[in-house]
Amino acid sequence: MVKLIASLLLLAVVAQAYGDFKCSLAVPEITKDWVDMKDACIKGMRHQIQEEINASYQYLAMGAYFSRDTVNRPGFAEHFFKAAKEEREHGSKLVEYLSMRGQLTEGVSDLISVPTVAKQEWTDGAAALSDALDLEIKVTKSIRKLIQTCENKPYNHYHLVDYLTGVYMEEQLHGQRELAGKLTTLKKMMDTNGELGEFLFDKTL
């Protein structure tokens, strides 16, 4: 900790002495033919990144709710915190993809905006899982729309479409099926045992 503080202080002193850390070298002139993504596809990718971040924030709100001492459902909390991390990682991977395709040389400051969480409380675990399933369906539809945009003429971004289909859609579809199964099981348990059913289900998550 002492070394970290010392390093930060040294960095502050250097920054004050030399001003902002900006590269003073001129950008070399090289061909831009390799930067071939088109506007509609780029716009769709940026939209999808925001969708993933929105989902992450919503899952964080769910995890925080079930972590309350007055709710105390640790299984649900852990499940939703894990989902929030996964959605955030999805957004990061899309950012990395845009960078790999040479698309983050400008407009980075408005790439992501902090979303407003639409809902912060739920009547029970079943209601939260139902909202989570709806959220995943929304994200899946957004990915499908992005795929349609990028695969049609005149774009034909086959590499990106293959990446989205083989990685993202595969995970989305499995995730939707898993959530639907969990929701069905939970509702059966609650219909039979009420709140005790939710309590027992929470232990399985």
| pLDDT digits 0-9 by tens, 165-197 | 998 999 999 999 999 999 999 999 999 999 999
Q: What is d(CA 175, CA 169) in angstroms, rounded to the nearest whole number?
A: 10
In a domain, 5, yes or no: no
3-state secondary structure of 200: helix
In a domain, 51, yes or no: yes
End-to-end CA distance of the chain: 36
Domain CATH number, residue 81: 1.20.1260.10
Residue 156 near residue 99 (C-beta atoms within 8 A) = no
13 pLDDT more than 80: no
Q: What is d(CA 35, CA 198) in angstroms, rounded to the nearest whole number?
A: 52
Give me the pLDDT at residue 3, please.
56
Check the annotation: does 157 bind a ligand.
Answer: no
Nearest to 41 by CA among 138, 157, 139, 142: 157
Length of the chain equals 205
> To the nearest whole number, what is the mean pLDDT of the chain?
87
In a domain, 191, yes or no: yes
**37 vs 68, residue with greater confidence:** 68
Total of domains in the chain: 1
Please count the other Cβ atoms lying within 10 Å of the Cβ belonging to residue 53. Answer: 21
Residue 23 near residue 118 (C-beta atoms within 8 A) = no
Between CA 44 and CA 51, with CA 50 as vertex, the angle to 5 degrees is: 85
Check the annotation: does 16 bind a ligand.
Answer: no
pLDDT tens figures, 80-112: 999 999 999 999 999 999 988 888 767 677 788
Give me the pLDDT at residue 108, please.
72
Q: Which domain holds residue 110?
A: 35-203
In a domain, 1, yes or no: no
Give me the pLDDT at residue 29, please.
83
Check the annotation: does 172 bind a ligand.
Answer: yes
In a domain, 169, yes or no: yes
Check the annotation: does 106 bind a ligand.
Answer: no
In a domain, 121, yes or no: yes
Residue 150, classified by CB atoms within 10 Å of its CB into exposed (0-12), middle (13-18) or buried (19+), is buried
In a domain, 147, yes or no: yes
In a domain, 113, yes or no: yes
Check the annotation: does 148 bind a ligand.
Answer: no
**5 vs 31, residue with greater confidence:** 31
Could you tell me where the beta strands, DSSP code E, fall in the chain? none
